[in-house]
Every structure is written in structure tokens, then in C-alpha cells.
Chain A
Amino acid sequence: MSKVTKKNAFHHNKKQPHPLPSNLIYNLLVNNLINISMSNITKTQAPTYYDEVIRKGYSRRDFLTFCTTIAAYMGLNQSGIAQVTEALKTKPRLPVIWLHFQECTCCSESFIRSSHPIVADVLLDQISLDYTETLMAASGAQAEEAMQNTMKKYKGEYILCVEGSVPTAADGVYCMIGGKTSIQILEEAAENAKAIIAWGSCASNGCVQSAKPNPTKATPIHKILKGKTIIKVPGCPPIGEVMAAVIVHVVTFGRIPELDRTGRPKAFYSKRIHDSCYRRSYYDAGLFVESFDDENAKKGYCLYKVGCKGPVTYNSCGTMKWNNGVSFPIQSGHGCIGCSEENYWDNGNIYDRAAIFPGFGIEANADTVGKVALGAVAVGVTAHAIMTNVRKKKILQTIENEGKLGESELE
């Protein structure tokens, strides 16, 4: 509770136009969840998002600000704002089932702290989280029942959000909830979902628990739900506003956002950090931080040589930034670690640009191996040259004699 209080106090200072009592958000959220958990069996007409906004004491202006903000994040044009507004006003709220498997809850944390005032305070309340282990009020059999009810009642209408990877070793016993393995839960929930969203790197590509040696065989969900379209929102965690915008897109347009080849929404993952980095000009100028305590670091030069993975990472951190647009890793003087990229734990050291060369130990990068190979080749070539003079003596002699004869005849 104290965290929430702090967060809202912060908002009040910054931008929030209509300050709310500091613990209102939390109450709204919890009450909302209880309401849904208890009443969604008897509910007949689901309220729209707009109904909920107004019911919770926000003004229409707040609502429109939110629609505009989120439309901007989604990369929509002016007419898109109207579409978002219209959709949120007329469409009933989509129920959300939010599953937690092998994860650290940083995605949830990021989402509930998506820090634009409107996004943070409205959207979380508005998407009705019918089941999420972390935030729901219900527990035990009651919670499981709520999930079953949602799945039955809103068959084909609910959004399934998955946070965390699924362990497949030993028949999935490493992650079990309510007597079911995570594989069973996932497959069951995915069957009739309107859209499936993989929150964070765990669900999208396995993240740290699937790094070598991956003892639990942690598996990203697209490898379990084969043949289903999954919106991957990688990042450790993903940016909260990105998460919000993805859900709003599904609500507004009734379909999943445009995805790239790997299944990430193009609006947020089509640009490299490197291309949106404000330190890019130092990169082009060839001015680099050599170590974190040097003069160049103080000057804010490019972090390329201290292992920044910005050039190989696709995300929106450079433009949307974090924590109410305050900063992002590079702005804080630390290179990008490429957390939204597949296999980033195994690709090499965080503070090193060169990847580990597989099969040659942790210290060996391509250049180390290359130099050794070059030395070996040089030795081999020299040995061969010496051997040639020994083994091919006769031939060499013949050629030499023939040549010398020609030479002598010209005298």
C-alpha cells in the first residue's frame, strides 16, 4: 500500500490534473477485481470502458486525454484518436485473464506503474483483470473458480495475458498452480482466448530461466501454443505504456496490432534503440566511453565500447523512455543490455560488445580464437614451406637448372 501511495504522490506533483485520494487507485482496483470475481456470473450487460471511467470519478476530459495519449503511443493519426475514443465509449470491457508462471512479476510491476497519469490510473482499472495471481483479491478455490467462470462466460472474448515462461522438464512439475501444471493451465486458457499476449521476455523468449543450462526447460509460450498467433511484448520488463497500448489496440480495433516477423507489435519494436538514442551523434563522431569512470562518461559520450547493446536491440526505450518519461538506461549512463532480444543472457557479457565464441570457454571471443587460428596457420605455412624445399628438392633443382641454362646461354 505504501508503494502505491508514494507513486500517486509523485503523480500529483507532476502532471495529474485531478488529484485523487492517494489510496483510491488501489481500492478501485481491488474492489473492481472482487466485483468481477463475484458478480460476473450474474452480470448481463457489461459496462463500457467509458462508463467505468465516469463511474470512477474521472472527467470526460481525462478520458479524452487518455485516448489521445494512447493513440499517440500506438502511432495512430488524428482520426485514430476518434476511433480509440469511440471504441472505449461503446465497446464493453474485455475481460482479461493474466497468468503468472516462471517470472519475477516485473512485467506486472511495470504495467501498474505505467506512469503517464492517465495510463497508470485509468487503464489498469478499466481492463478488468478477472484473474491474476498477483493482484486479485480472491484466492484458492475461489480464484480458480473466477478464472473458470470467465473462460466459460466470455468464451472467445477474453484476452489472455501470459507473464513468465513455462517449464516443460519433468512434465512441467516445476510450476504448478491449483494442482495443474503451467502447461495445462496455459493450453486450457489459450483455447478460447480472443487474443494471446506474451508479456515480457520470459513469455516471449524464455529470458534468464531459459539461459544455459536451463534446468527446468523453461519454454516461451509460442513454442507451446503452436499455430496460435501470439502478441509478443518482450523486454525485462516491457515498457508499461507499451503494454497498455497493446491492450487498447485490441479493444479499439477488435484485432491484434500489426506484428513483425517475430510477433512483436511493429509500432513499438521496429526501431533499434541505437537509431533513437540521443547519444547517437557521439557514436557517429567516434567518441566513446572507455570506462565508466572516465572523462568521456562524464561528458555523456556513446556507451558502445562498454557493451551497449543498443545497436542490436529493438525497443521503444529511446523514444518513450521509462518512469513518466524521466529517463532510460542509456540516459542514466549505463549501456542497453538488450533485454528485449532473444537469448540475451547467453549472447555475451553485459559490458562487452563481442559475443562469446561457442565452444571456447567464457573468455574467448571471436578475435581471441581468430588470432590463435591465424598463428596456427602461420606456423603451418612456414612448416610447409620448409618441407617443400626438402621434399621437392629434385623438382626444384630441375627447374633451377633449366632456368640457369637459359641464363647462361644468353651470356
Chain B
Amino acid sequence: MSTKYLKINRMRRVYVWELPVRIYHWLNVIAILVLIVTGFFIANPLVLTSSQEPAFRYVMGTVRFLHFVASYLFFFNFAFRIYWGFVGNKFAQWHQFIPTNLAFFKDMWQIIKIDILQLKGKEHIGVGHNTLAGFIYFLTFIAFLIQILTGFALYSQNSSWWFPKLFSGIGFLFGSDMALRSFHHWTMWFFILFTVIHIYLVFYHDYVEGRGEISSMGAGYKFIEEDIFQEHKQEIKKSQEKHKISLFNQSKPTQK
């Protein structure tokens, strides 16, 4: 057996996803699931036959109610996540998602080569989001925003509260509510496609890296090989010196 030459790794436990991030993630899962299922129902209601008198039925009303409740959950959850992007740890910071320098794009290209196209090369080493994932999440945030804007704009007619009314002007940008409704429906498909790819890639990383990728969204820990951990530390130190430290890194230490 080749075990003689096998490197036995000492794993460092790194607290990657803080509790608020994890709660955000799972609330988001629930909200999006409910929104997609009820959204499909609202777009094309199922034929539910029953001998009940129409006066006692409230099927569509209930489904819509669920959709609206989930939409509020989704909105405030997202608003909280944006806030956490400024006060959270290194891995939750906004610049994990929004490219601010060329290195971000270079790193993204590296990930596309190694992980997506699976060309030969140095394996990519990361702890939190990799840059490609971060950037895709940024795109999902834009999709979130589109859904919130179009969704609340559609909802504004149902409500007398000032908050949804804020969005009532958005239909005007689209010309009509019909266009608005269609756009809301189309964007929903982005969520479905994203979910499929997202779940696949979590399994992929768990399988290829063996660092507990899947469970990291449970307890928040990832396990990093000692030498890679040190390497990573050095890299961060170097880049910090190079960039003379950005505002956010200064105020927040890497490790708690």
C-alpha cells in the first residue's frame, strides 16, 4: 500500500460561518422554497375540487398569504444580511462578493480553469467563499433585489401600509403591471437554476476537498490542513502589507 508515503494532515478548525450567517442562510432556504412553490401556484393555480361551498373556501387567499409572509421574511432577512456584510467576520464581509480589484478576477479565472473546466494546474486553496462563488452570490443578491422590487411593486396595490407603497412606482418603469409580473416570474427561474448548481457544488467541494463543506453551514466550522492554513495566513499577511490594509481588515481581525 502507498500509505508509507501518505501525508497525514493535521486539520485546523476554522470558524467560517457565524451564527447570524447560518440563520440567514436557512431562513433564506425556507423563504425561497415557500416563495417558489406558492409563486408557481399563484401563477397557475391547481384545480382543487371540493364539495365545500365557495364561501368557505380561501385556497388562493391562503396561498397568497403564505407568499406575502415569506416575502417579508425574505426581505428583512436579506436586509439583515446586507448589514452583516459590514459588521460580520472576514468571510461575511461585502468585499467577498463584490470585486474591487484585478486580483479578484484573476482568482476567479483560476477557479473556472481548475474547478469548472477541470484543467490541470495548482489546486485552488480557499477557506471562505471562493471568489467565483462570491461573485455568483453577488449576482444572486441582484436577483434578490429584482424580486423584492418587482414583488413589492405588485403587492403594493394589496396593501395600505406605507412600506409596500414605496415600491408602487416601479410598475411605471416597466410600462405595465403585466410586464412587471412577467419579469418577476422570469427572475424566479434564476433562483431555481441557482439552487440546483449551488447544491451540486457544495457536494462537489465536500467530495473533492474533504473539509466538511456541507456541515459548515450547520455548525459553522471548516477544517483546513495545517500547512495550507499556514500558507493562507502568509498570503493574507503579504497582501495586507501590499495594500496597506483596507479599512475593513484593520477594524476586524481575521481570527476571533
Bound together, the chains give a CA A338 to CA B175 distance in angstroms of: 13
Residues A347 and B59 in contact, CB atoms below 8 Å apart: no
Which residues, 180 to 212 on B, are CB-close (under 8 Å) to A?
180-182, 185-186, 188-189, 192-193, 196-197, 200, 204, 207-210
Bound together, the chains give a CA A134 to CA B60 distance in angstroms of: 47
Residues on A with C-beta less than 8 A from B185 are 354-355, 366
B7 contacts A by Cβ under 8 Å? yes
The listed residue (A284, A312, A385) touching B177 by CB distance below 8 A is: A312
Given known contacts A366-B186, A388-B118, A286 and B57 CB-to-CB distance under 8 angstroms: yes
Interface range, A side: 35 or more
Residues B193 and A377 in contact, CB atoms below 8 Å apart: yes
Residues on B with C-beta less than 8 A from A355 are 178-179, 181-182, 185
Residues B54 and A399 in contact, CB atoms below 8 Å apart: no
Which of B42-50, B144-152, B213-221, B237-245 is the contact stretch?
B42-50
Given known contacts A366-B185, A381-B200, A391-B118, A402 and B7 CB-to-CB distance under 8 angstroms: yes
A405 contacts B by Cβ under 8 Å? yes
Bound together, the chains give a CA A387 to CA B186 distance in angstroms of: 31
Residues B193 and A373 in contact, CB atoms below 8 Å apart: yes
Residues B175 and A284 in contact, CB atoms below 8 Å apart: no
Given known contacts A305-B45, A401-B3, A402-B7, A396 and B208 CB-to-CB distance under 8 angstroms: yes
Chain B residue nearest to A270 (CB atoms) is: B157
Residues B58 and A312 in contact, CB atoms below 8 Å apart: no
Bound together, the chains give a CA A312 to CA B174 distance in angstroms of: 12
Residues A304 and B45 in contact, CB atoms below 8 Å apart: yes
Bound together, the chains give a CA A281 to CA B204 distance in angstroms of: 49
Residues B179 and A388 in contact, CB atoms below 8 Å apart: no
- What distance in Å separates the Cβ of A259 from its nearest Cβ neighbour in chain B? 12
Chain A residue nearest to B180 (CB atoms) is: A312
Residues on B with C-beta less than 8 A from A272 are 157, 177
Complex interface bits, A343-386 against B, C-beta within 8 A gives 1, otherwise 0: 11001100001110100000000110110011001100100110
For the complex, count residues of B whose C-beta is within 8 A of A. Answer: 47
Bound together, the chains give a CA A388 to CA B115 distance in angstroms of: 9
Chain A residue nearest to B123 (CB atoms) is: A395
A131 contacts B by Cβ under 8 Å? no
Residues A287 and B193 in contact, CB atoms below 8 Å apart: no
Residues on A with C-beta less than 8 A from B43 are 353-354
The listed residue (A275, A366, A384) touching B189 by CB distance below 8 A is: A366
A1 contacts B by Cβ under 8 Å? no
Chain B residue nearest to A314 (CB atoms) is: B177
Residues B192 and A374 in contact, CB atoms below 8 Å apart: yes
Residues on B with C-beta less than 8 A from A313 are 177
Chain B residue nearest to A396 (CB atoms) is: B208
Residues on A with C-beta less than 8 A from B63 are 286
Bound together, the chains give a CA A385 to CA B208 distance in angstroms of: 11
Residues on A with C-beta less than 8 A from B157 are 272, 275
A288 contacts B by Cβ under 8 Å? yes
Given known contacts A377-B196, A381-B197, A388-B204, A344 and B118 CB-to-CB distance under 8 angstroms: no
A283 contacts B by Cβ under 8 Å? yes
Bound together, the chains give a CA A343 to CA B180 distance in angstroms of: 12
Bound together, the chains give a CA A366 to CA B43 distance in angstroms of: 11
Given known contacts A285-B60, A402-B8, A338 and B178 CB-to-CB distance under 8 angstroms: yes
Residues on B with C-beta less than 8 A from A367 are 189
Complex interface bits, B11-37 against A, C-beta within 8 A gives 1, otherwise 0: 000000000000000000000000000
B176 contacts A by Cβ under 8 Å? yes
Bound together, the chains give a CA A282 to CA B160 distance in angstroms of: 23
Residues B54 and A287 in contact, CB atoms below 8 Å apart: yes
Residues on B with C-beta less than 8 A from A392 are 118, 208
Would you mind naming 7 contact pairs between A and B with Cβ atoms under 8 Å apart? A305-B44, A342-B176, A353-B44, A381-B196, A384-B204, A401-B3, A402-B9
If A281-B55, A305-B44, A374-B196 are given as contacts, then 8 extra A-B residue pairs at C-beta distance below 8 Å, sorted by A number, are A272-B157, A285-B54, A312-B176, A344-B176, A353-B43, A353-B44, A388-B207, A399-B210
Binding site for A on B (CB under 8 A): 2-3, 6-9, 43-45, 47-48, 54-55, 57-61, 63, 116, 118, 123, 157, 169, 172, 175-182, 185-186, 188-189, 192-193, 196-197, 200, 204, 207-210
Sorted from nearest, which 9 A-B pairs have the closest CB atoms?
A286-B59, A312-B177, A355-B182, A370-B189, A285-B57, A341-B176, A284-B61, A286-B60, A391-B118
